[in-house]
Amino acid sequence: MQQVADVKPSSTLPVSETTFADLLRPLIDPGFRLALAMLHDAQAAEDAVQEASFIAWRKLGRMHDQGRLRPWFLGIVANKCRNARRNKWSAGVTLGVPDVLPVPSPEERTLRGADLRRAIARLDYDDRLVVVLYFYVDMPLDELAAVTRSSAGAARARLYRAINKLRPGVAIEEALR
Phi and psi at residue 94, in whole multiples of 5°?
A: -115, 160
User: Does position 64 have pLDDT exceeding 80, yes or no?
Assistant: no
Please provide the DSSP assignment of 59-104 as one string: HGGG-S-GGGHHHHHHHHHHHHHHHHHHHHHHHH---S--SS----
pTM over 0.75: no
Looking at per-residue pLDDT, the higher value among 144 and 172 belongs to 144
Q: Can you give the pLDDT at residue 54?
A: 92
Q: Can you give the pLDDT at residue 55?
A: 92
> Domains of the chain by range and CATH?
2-91 (1.10.1740), 107-175 (1.10.10.10)
Q: Each residue of 129-155: pLDDT tens digit?
A: 888 878 877 778 888 888 888 999 999
